[in-house]
Amino acid sequence: MVGDHACAEGALAAGLDFYAGYPITPSTEVMEHLADRLPRVGSKFVQMEDEIASIAAIIGASAAGARSMTATSGPGFSLMMENIGLAAMMEVPVVIVDVMRASPSTGLPTSVGQADVLQVRWGSHGDYGIAAYAPCSPQECFDLTIAAFNTANRYRIPTFVMMDEIVGHMTERVVIPDEADLPRMGRPRPETAPGEAPFLPYGLTEGLVPPMAHAGEGYKVHMTGLTHDERGYPLLNAAAHEKLVRRLVDKVRLNADEILRYEEIMVDDADTVVVAFGCTARSARRAVALARADGIKAGLLRPVTLWPFPENRVRRLLQLGNVKKFVVPEINLGQICREVERLTALPVLRINRAGGAMITPEIIVEGIVG
């Protein structure tokens, strides 16, 4: 199965109710697959006039209770930024798939890039929390799309699947478990029926994630991008803003250990640790194997979640005292390497390409040896 189709099947397995999107290479196959599949399972597919309308539509659908998703690529992703902030502010869970291509602007539409990984974290204005997964195979396109829906619902946040063109267009075997074995997490919900007791749609809870009532269920629900109180009504002062924005950030920051995922290969005794994600991690795996064959103690740390970044794992590797340097290959001019550099005073070798082609294992081996 091709990666884009595996992502679409993962969304279906996660219970996708509503998809709205606009075609753009190299994500179009996600949309085409769902245009065929969603009506067959009784769910809704809408082709919108552009990417701004697409994300607005999935936010509205989610506010009404639908598990909703869109997919796009660089230029379309940029157009979605304002409404990503709106979803974060209103705490509406949505899943956005970005199949990264060589950028900026229209760049190389059909070629690989990995340069949207800071944009996904910081692209919309203001402070807020998100989660972003970076699959490195079609199997992970399936599995991590399900994980994205579960995280979006559990924490009421925009959640992203950051595929790159190579992974999106790669064909490999994908194992789809029985439906009963698929994890499907719902949203926190009100404990009382509409009208039984006062309901605060943004009330403070122990896990910092308030219960979500859906539009049309009978609860009094008010959603706005303005700073708001626990009822959802605008409250425009510094104290209310401090309380709200800190909670939006802390509900992800304090639950980061529950969200983040990473893969490790031979890092415990490694004196050189390669940090790589997406298709570049596939080259890095081969590079580590080649280095080990030559007696070089190399290892791989692959962030499966780019955000939250597995910074505590990097700190624990540093505490072991074996690591002498990090190597960070990525198909951009230096983005995730900044997360490593801020955690250590050890040398961090950047291996960067602007986009259009993979970084080969041999290039990474040169970085490990050099």
**Is the overall model pTM greater than 0.85, yes or no?**
yes
DSSP code at position 269:
T
Distance CA 147, CA 261 (A): 10
* Span 173-227, pLDDT tens digits: 999 999 999 989 999 999 999 989 889 999 988 889 999 999 999 998 899 999 9
Distance CA 292, CA 310 (A): 24
Distance CA 63, CA 232 (A): 13
Strand (E) positions, the chain?
18-21, 44-47, 68-72, 94-102, 108-112, 131-133, 158-164, 262-265, 272-275, 298-303, 305-307, 325-330, 348-352
In the numeric block, the tokens 């997964």 are attached to 133
pLDDT score recorded for residue 183: 87
Whether residue 141 contacts residue 161, with contact meaning beta carbons closer than 8 Å, is answered with yes
pLDDT score recorded for residue 104: 97
Task: For residue 101, give the nearest of 90, 91, 114 by alpha carbon.
Answer: 114
pLDDT score recorded for residue 198: 86
Distance CA 117, CA 132 (A): 9
- Those residues whose C-beta lies under 8 Å from the C-beta of residue 316, and which sit 6 or more positions away, are none
3-state secondary structure of 23: coil
Give the chain's residues under pLDDT 50. none
pLDDT score recorded for residue 241: 98
pLDDT score recorded for residue 206: 85
- List residues bridging with 133 in a β-sheet: 161, 305
Distance CA 335, CA 350 (A): 10
pLDDT score recorded for residue 370: 84
- Those residues whose C-beta lies under 8 Å from the C-beta of residue 159, and which sit 6 or more positions away, are 93, 94, 95, 96, 130, 131, 132, 133, 148, 149, 151, 152
pLDDT score recorded for residue 207: 87
Whether residue 269 contacts residue 320, with contact meaning beta carbons closer than 8 Å, is answered with no
Burial of 243 (0-12, 13-18, 19+ CB in 10 A): middle
Distance CA 70, CA 79 (A): 13
Whether residue 17 contacts residue 61, with contact meaning beta carbons closer than 8 Å, is answered with yes
Q: DSSP letter string over 294-319? A: TT--EEEEEESEEES--HHHHHHHHH
* Span 107-142, pLDDT tens digits: 999 999 999 999 999 999 999 999 999 999 999 999
Distance CA 277, CA 274 (A): 10
